[in-house]
Amino acid sequence: MSTDHKQTTTKERTTAVMQLLGGMISLQFGSSAAKTMFPIFGATGMVGLRACFAAVILVIFFRSWTILSWKTLRMAMPYGLVTALMNVFFYLALQRIPLGMTVAIEFTGPLFLAFLHSQRLADVGWLLLTVTGLVLLLRPSHTTSPDTLGVLFALGAATCWAFYVVFGKRLIGKMAPGHACALGQLCGGISLFFPCFVPALITGSSHPSLLALGFIVALCSSAIPYALEMRAMHTLSARELGIFYSLEPVCAVLAGVLILHEHLELLRFCGILLVAAASAGTVIMPEKKDRPTSSSHT
């Protein structure tokens, strides 16, 4: 019986990791496509299109109108608002600095959250590795220097990403992951409707093909990744989510190079790899509760 339980748990965890990775790839390539439309819609306009279109897609797909009420909206509001704010900060940063750099800085949010959930002395070393990576990433060079405002926006997105994980885990304890994702996006879409979505919709009326592409961006950048992430959150802990997000900066660099033709200096690329390695390193080291002295709890 215990063997079957372990096999089922392993299968669920593997599925959750695949969902998380699929969401990362979809998100970064969707973000790259979104950046190409900034000259038409602007950063906030793309956030509005992404959030509102995604809300409609997810509510219909998960049939979330069946549980829609003021009570469920109040439960989803913190998650929805922090998601909307995270996306605003992310796109404002993306307007000023490369995609790989933006995601690497933003990624420090869930990474530090993972460190906070750890009780191991070894994680101090991984934290120092993260700081070293950020120093390499943000260091001025003789040719270019990162846009200060863009870096601050990325740090704002990092803070929101940490709260996104916390509020997301809390929300799926109260409702099914699909409904949690859909109602969260609905709350975020409502908050961005007039200031961001309506102006972008008016602009898009004269660019219908780009408006259709905005719908695809919403599908790739919000609907698909958030739905997959919410399902993964149902299985993985906050610490594990922070760990597996380590591939996010790498996916962003690849998307930036392939779609946006962005190139980072070697030292800054090494900085991104150090940030990712610090997160991956935390999963290589066993947790404190998994040590032999705590084996009675396994």
CA-CA distances (angstroms) from residue 65 to 170, 171, 178? Answer: 21, 17, 12
Tens of each residue's pLDDT in the chain, 298 residues: 444 444 447 788 888 888 888 888 898 889 999 999 999 999 999 999 999 999 999 999 999 999 999 999 999 999 999 999 999 999 999 999 999 889 889 888 877 887 777 667 777 788 888 888 888 888 877 667 789 999 999 999 999 989 998 998 899 889 988 899 899 999 999 999 999 999 999 999 898 999 999 999 999 988 898 788 878 877 887 667 766 767 778 888 888 888 888 888 888 889 888 888 877 776 666 555 443 333 333 3
pLDDT at 143: 67
Phi, psi of 143 (to 5 degrees): -110, -50
Contacts of 288 (CB under 8 A, 6+ apart): 118, 119, 120, 294
Distance CA 273, CA 56 (A): 36
pLDDT at 293: 33
CA-CA distances (angstroms) from residue 202 to 199, 206, 211, 230, 292? Answer: 5, 8, 10, 32, 63
Buried b vs exposed e over 190-229: b needs ≥16 C-beta within 10 Å? Answer: bbbeeebbeebbebbeeeeebbebbbebbbbbbbbbbbbb
Please count the other Cβ atoms lying within 10 Å of the Cβ belonging to residue 2. 6
pLDDT at 7: 46
pLDDT at 287: 54
Q: What is the pTM of this model?
A: 0.82
Reported as type and span, the H/E element at residue 157 is: helix 148-171
Hunting for tokens 């070697």 — which residue is that?
Answer: 266
3-state secondary structure (DSSP) of residue 120:
coil
Domain ranges of the chain: 42-285
Handedness of CA 153, 164, 162, 230 (dihedral sign): negative
Query: Which string of DSSP letters, residue by residue, matches 54-119?
Result: HHHHHHHHTTGGGG-SHHHHHHHHHHHHHHHHHHHHHHHHHTTS-HHHHHHHHHHHHHHHHHHT--
pLDDT at 242: 62
Residue (of 84, 76, 110) closest to 236 by Cα position: 110
Residue (of 87, 277, 270, 290) closest to 189 by Cα position: 87
